Amino acid sequence: MYSKILVLVDGSETSRLGLDEAIRLASVTGGRLRLFHVIDELGFALSMDAFAGRPGDWLEQLRAEGHAVLQAAKTIAEQAGVQAEGVLHEAFARTLHDVVNDEVTASGAELIVTGTHGRRGFGRAVLGSNAEQILRHANVPVLLVRAPEARAKAGAAEKATRISLPTGALAFE
């Protein structure tokens, strides 16, 4: 069960939580991790600065940082006794979920593990949710690991708030 696990890593704390969960799962199943880092248009655009270097320099910096993220994740997995390999992918003009599905097919992964910020409302509308798109379009099961603050917000949101007007015309639950 889940001998090949694709783990999306980006160096964030949320990504680390996903990696930790994948390591626990691989330890139990005897699985192997395929660590996957993607350089995409958004990451490239956010790294650019109007006063800094050439675009080629920015891309090389993103590649170097991506390799460092993969190496750090691989070291963490191997220290836990789990085999891992890293793959850096550049995805320009393609959606992240398509790139992830291609990697699932190419690697034979049986499970995708990724961290999620659990954004809701305006933050989700503005920033979108890569994890949600991966979940919606995945060819294999997906394990989403929430950040602790997202878990706390979700727990608070589950407590119902009841507002009623005396006319009964408007009621929120």
Q: Is the pTM of this model over 0.85?
A: no
Please write the tens of the pLDDT for every residue from 99-140: 999 999 999 999 999 998 755 543 443 334 788 888 889 999
3-state secondary structure of 50: coil
3-state secondary structure of 8: strand
CATH architecture of the domain covering 4-172: 3-Layer(aba) Sandwich (3.40)
Backbone angles phi, psi at 162, to 5 degrees: -115, 125
**Tokens 């192997």, residue located:** 32
Please write the tens of the pLDDT for every residue from 17-74: 999 999 999 999 999 999 999 987 555 545 555 445 565 677 788 889 999 999 999 9
Return the structure tokens found at 136.
Answer: 């919606």
Return the structure tokens found at 64.
Answer: 């170097």
Instruction: DSSP letter for 141, please.
Output: -
d(CA 65, CA 78): 20
Label residue 172 by pLDDT band (50, 70, 90): very low
Each domain of the chain, given as residue ranges in start order, spans 4-172
Length of the chain: 173
